Amino acid sequence: MAQDWGAAPAQAKPELKPEPKSEVKARARHTCPACGAESTWNPARQALICGFCGTTAPGTMVDTAREEIIEHDLATALRGVPDARRGWRAQKQSVKCQSCHAISVFDPARQSQGCEFCGATKLLSYEEVKDSFSPESLLPMKVSQVQARELIRKWYGSRWFAPNKLKKAALTDTVKGIYIPYWTFDAQVNADWEAEAGYHYYETESYTDNNGNRQTRRVQRTRWEYVSGHLDHFFDDELVPASLGIQRNHLRAVEPFPTNELLPYDAKYLSGWVVERYQIDLVAAAQRSREQMQQKVQAMCGQAVPGDTYRNLRVQAGYSGQTFKHILAPLWLLQYRYGVKNFQVVMNGYTGKVSGDYPKSWVKIVLAVIAVIIVLVVVFGVQGV
């Protein structure tokens, strides 16, 4: 559908409600072939490992021979998702947090004492009206818990304004590994654009200063010319997070997730891990992806305008070949309380990138301000100001 972006000023160049959810289809849990205890996915060894005897389950290592990841036609899916593409393909239990509204999905044997995302204890069993759309690909957890703790510890150490007391605290003992939902979208965009391109030039003008003397100065002028053009661009795996449990700014900060390394979904990767069920459904996610794409198309067309600046950029964009897929991405999450405030730290479980909040030490801030004042006094004193 064509999109008219309307007039723009001169520029320097350079949710819908969550879908209801239901009981998931059962499948045998991953038991240890040696002792019969439950095996869980081990990021460090990239295999199912028994937590009791340490046996590696045969045939559970990551297969480096990539299978094709299926993309689904968006228009067809928006008319209805068949039951065959719903559910987790393993027995799971769901609870909804009454504080942050995140829906956590985990193995039935696990007892949840609190929300994995905000730490609240007000959890209610969540019964779906219909199974959620099945994830068909994922990135397995790659950063181990030991590595996650060390990376978060280093991240804290690099926060100069963080209180020393916080840096010494054993906060990383509470780091938790989770999988969060994403939608990805592909689309071919063909856009026609038109704008006024501005070319700067300079003139010398005369003026009278405050003392009544005549002076001259160079003044920048802009010459405007009508221009137009065409843009062809393919969006590949435009990410739209479907999580409510993770702060959006931190989630965006630890992206991207390398979708070119996705593996076909297999419940073994989730054995022993908590998964967040998507809270933003396909319809809402498709709308968000279109908005993201339109913003990027607008920016790319703006970059294509010749000259030094532009104004009144108008874009007519058409989208075709739109496809999507539902994926799961790994995160390490640290939720803690310092004083009267709650803080959240997020780590990309595949790349190790970290983002988060932390308290600021007012003592360090005051010392920093004093240091800046001293430097300014010394500099201006040397210059004789």
Report the pLDDT value the prediction gives residue 5, as an integer from 0 to 100.
37
Torsion (CA) 96, 97, 100, 103 in degrees, nearest 10: -30
Bridge partners for 330 per DSSP: 179
Quote the longest CA-to-CA distance of the chain.
98
339 touches 90 (CB < 8 A): no
Question: Tens of pLDDT along 85-127?
Answer: 444 445 555 666 666 666 666 555 454 556 666 655 554 555 5
Report the pLDDT value the prediction gives residue 258, as an integer from 0 to 100.
93
How far apart, in whole angstroms, are the C-alpha atoms of residue 209 and residue 206? 10
Residue with tokens 């504080």: 99
Report the pLDDT value the prediction gives residue 29, as an integer from 0 to 100.
54
Cα 40 to Cα 7, 295, 302, 351: the distances in Å are: 56, 42, 50, 21
Token pair listed for 39: 């095996």
How does DSSP classify residue 157?
A: H
Report the pLDDT value the prediction gives residue 30, as an integer from 0 to 100.
63
Report the pLDDT value the prediction gives residue 171, as an integer from 0 to 100.
62
The tens-digit pLDDT sequence of the chain (385 residues) is 433 333 445 555 543 333 333 323 323 356 665 555 566 767 766 667 766 555 666 555 555 555 667 788 887 776 665 555 444 445 555 666 666 666 666 555 454 556 666 655 554 555 544 456 778 899 999 999 889 988 988 888 888 777 777 666 656 567 889 999 999 999 999 999 999 999 999 999 998 888 888 889 999 999 999 999 999 999 999 999 998 878 889 999 999 999 999 999 888 888 888 888 888 888 889 999 999 999 999 999 999 999 999 999 999 999 999 999 999 999 999 888 777 788 889 999 999 999 988 877 777 778 788 888 888 877 776 665 5
Report the pLDDT value the prediction gives residue 52, as an integer from 0 to 100.
55
Got the DSSP string for 98-123? TTT--EEEE-TTPPP-S-TTT----E
Report the pLDDT value the prediction gives residue 280, as an integer from 0 to 100.
86
Residue with tokens 């340490």: 54
Report the pLDDT value the prediction gives residue 158, as an integer from 0 to 100.
83
Token pair listed for 29: 């849990």
Report the pLDDT value the prediction gives residue 259, as an integer from 0 to 100.
92
10 Å CB burial of residue 304 (0-12, 13-18, 19+) is middle
Token pair listed for 234: 């393919």
Question: Torsions phi, psi of 258, nearest 5?
Answer: -70, 90
Chain Cα centroid distance, residue 297:
20
Bridge partners for 324 per DSSP: 72, 185
323 touches 73 (CB < 8 A): yes
Token pair listed for 37: 């205890």
